[in-house]
Structure 1
Amino acid sequence: MRQSTHVLSIRTSGRGLLEITREIRSWVADQRLTTGLLTVFCKHTSASLLIQENAAREVRSDLEAFFEQIAPEDPARYAHDDEGPDDMPAHLRTALTQVQLSIPVIEGEPALGTWQGIYLFEHRRRPHERQVVLHLLGE
């Protein structure tokens, strides 16, 4: 049994879904493990991770619109606004999604479905440098 770790630095351009599947697949392939378990972990409280359809752009825009409705920027709703009006809505969006994914690795590749991609979901309006930790355990 072997394990490997890596930290991806991802520059976001503001709120939205950013596909990171290619970077993750490339790193997994470089590890030369046939079978295992990949953990993907986002080190932030205002960004999250999703596995979602990667074919139709409308899926991403619909998701972004949905989260805008359930966690809107409204200064009258929240006490926490240390970093601006998008601060608390970003924390709520992260709480409703996830910061960690577990993905089986089969025959040296993440076992994603045909239309599945791995996304970093940036919940803040301004660009950020995000850190995503990869941990692969297997043989």
Structure 2
Amino acid sequence: MGRVEVIAAGEVTKQVSGRLTVRTRGQGFTEITAEAASFVRESGLHHGLLTVFCRHTSASLTLQENADPDVRQDLLAALDRLAPRDQPYVHHAEGPDDMPGHIRTMLTDAVLSVPLVEGRLALGTWQGLYVVEHRDRPHRREIVLHLVGA
């Protein structure tokens, strides 16, 4: 095991919450890394944990590569294979893209946690935070941000 460094031991813990409205353009990825980083900067906290929560059942969150857009295209193709739109789903009241959206949300994440170190999100070099829209048409998606730290 590597060296363990204790940061912020004994400091007063604070909590900050906020909401982010994301306008999607239909099925695909919308990056929210800059908005999350801005929220962290405005909080004034230096060490802690950011929780990101998507308040929807046909959109989700993912932490993914943000350098090569081909990665996101391949991920959408993989989701199409895992939850195809042309299946005879029982739930279809909201359209043929709704039930596949629910399945895709179940396969991905509704909640992400990212450590905060020295006032910055501890993301890897090529990592970005994304809202993944699983429906065909544009939507307004609400994301809740909650930061605990010192």
1:20 matched residue in structure 2: 32
Q: Deviations over 1:4-40 (max 9, x none)?
A: 0000001111000111101110111111101001000
Amino acid at match of 2:96: P
- Structure 1: how far apart are the matches of 2:90 and 2:28? 24
1:86 matched residue in structure 2: 97
Amino acid at match of 1:29: R
Amino acid at match of 1:22: A
- Structure 1: how far apart are the matches of 2:93 and 2:19? 27
1:56 maps onto 2:68 in alignment: yes
- Structure 2: how far apart are the matches of 1:127 and 1:50? 18
- Structure 2: how far apart are the matches of 1:129 and 1:51? 20
C-alpha RMSD of matched pairs (Å)? 0.7
Amino acid at match of 1:6: G
Q: Which runs of 4+ in 1 moved over 2 A?
A: none
2:48 matched residue in structure 1: 36
Q: Deviations over 1:40-78 (max 9, x none)?
A: 0000000000000000010000001110111111142x0
Secondary structure class of the residue paired with 1:45:
coil
1:46 maps onto 2:58 in alignment: yes
In the superposition, the TM-score normalised over structure 2's length comes to 0.90
- Structure 2: how far apart are the matches of 1:12 and 1:40? 17
Number of residues of Structure 1 aligned to a counterpart in Structure 2: 138
CA positional deviation for 1:81: 0.6
From the CA coordinates, give the structure whose radius of gyration is larger: 2
Amino acid at match of 1:60: R
Unaligned runs of 5+ in 2: 1-12
2:141 matched residue in structure 1: 130
In the superposition, the TM-score normalised over structure 1's length comes to 0.97
- Structure 2: how far apart are the matches of 1:75 and 1:119? 27
- Structure 1: how far apart are the matches of 2:97 and 2:80? 11
Identity among equivalent positions (%) equals 56
Alignment equivalent of 1:4, drawn from 12, 16, 26: 16
- Structure 2: how far apart are the matches of 1:72 and 1:61? 15
